[in-house]
């Protein structure tokens, strides 16, 4: 039996595949704001992963302000000492939406791991705050995260590098820029060595919303599901690091806006079933 994939309890959790549209349409970011259920939410932007925080914050300040945010907070955490700062903890507590930008996810886990800021993010989610992240800010959300591995040939034992993430989603591995950077083999190698993990490959300008046992795809791009729980064979346990892996009976799904996935039963949900699952409020904003 595989470990059920599930979102930890709390408010909405959104993972975005990167390069989301920030023009006047800004479909994904517009929907993220709507999840707060406030007319003019406060958005806190964490730019820890980025090497150019001024530029990144400037972009999100402009787009979120244009979409109706009452305030966009610059949560500029650059060092581990910052992650213990009561100032930044209070900024997160005062945010209706906490948005984690892209960059290097190892910076995120190194700087925020085990910190008061990360504990506050987890606590705020439990109290209903919307937590969203793009690219590195999405990859870090899982209990175990991918942080490296060549896109061109990762179907080799040990090619994919993994580390502990933020633990907002259990039993799932999230990979980003998935189609654009040809990362299928990364999640296949993960599945061969860890069949219990459900692989979620987010294309650019694509996102998923986690609510309980349901994962909802939205945005213009594709969401790829790589389910290795039913694999019938692999040679991975016989290999030395770097040798080519064979794996059989991997199940894949491609989801688009309006479709979802039941994390407990591991099956695709169509628009009608999503309505039956009680997501009418989300569909109304689609």
Catalytic residue positions, numbered: 135, 177, 204
Pairing of strands 130-134, 13-16: parallel
User: Which candidate, 132, 254, 273, places its Cα nearest to that of 213?
Assistant: 273
Phi, psi angles (nearest 5°) of residue 15:
-115, 130
Count of CB atoms within 10 A of residue 120's CB? Answer: 19
114: left (phi over 0), alpha (psi -120 to 50) or beta: left
- Token couple for 143: 């209990």
Q: How far apart are CA 23 and CA 285, in angstroms?
A: 19
């Amino acid at each position: 039996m595989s470990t059920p994939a599930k979102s930890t309890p709390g408010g909405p959790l959104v993972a975005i595949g990167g390069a989301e549209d920030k023009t006047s349409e800004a479909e994904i970011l517009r929907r993220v704001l709507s999840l707060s259920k406030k007319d003019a939410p406060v958005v806190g932007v964490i730019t820890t992963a980025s090497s150019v925080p001024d530029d990144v914050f400037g972009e999100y300040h402009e787009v979120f302000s244009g979409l109706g945010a009452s305030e966009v907070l610059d949560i500029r955490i650059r060092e581990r000492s910052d992650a213990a700062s009561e100032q930044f903890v209070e900024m997160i507590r005062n945010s209706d939406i906490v948005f984690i930008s892209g960059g290097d996810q190892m910076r995120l886990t190194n700087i925020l791991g085990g910190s008061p800021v990360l504990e506050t993010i987890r606590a705020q989610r439990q109290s209903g705050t919307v937590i969203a992240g793009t690219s590195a800010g999405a990859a870090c959300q899982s209990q175990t995260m991918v942080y490296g591995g060549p896109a061109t040939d990762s179907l080799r034992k040990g090619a994919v590098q993994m580390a502990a993430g933020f633990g907002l989603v259990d039993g799932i591995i999230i990979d980003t820029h998935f189609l654009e950077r040809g990362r299928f083999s990364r999640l296949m190698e993960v599945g061969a060595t860890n069949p219990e993990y459900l692989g979620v490959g987010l294309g650019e300008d694509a996102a998923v919303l986690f609510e309980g046992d349901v994962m909802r795809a939205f945005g213009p791009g594709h969401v790829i599901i790589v389910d290795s729980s039913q694999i019938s064979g692999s040679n991975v346990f016989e290999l030395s690091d770097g040798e080519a892996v064979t794996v059989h009976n991997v199940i894949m799904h491609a989801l688009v806006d309006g479709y979802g996935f039941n994390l407990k039963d591991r099956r695709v949900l169509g628009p009608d079933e999503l309505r039956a699952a009680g997501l009418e409020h989300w569909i109304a904003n689609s």
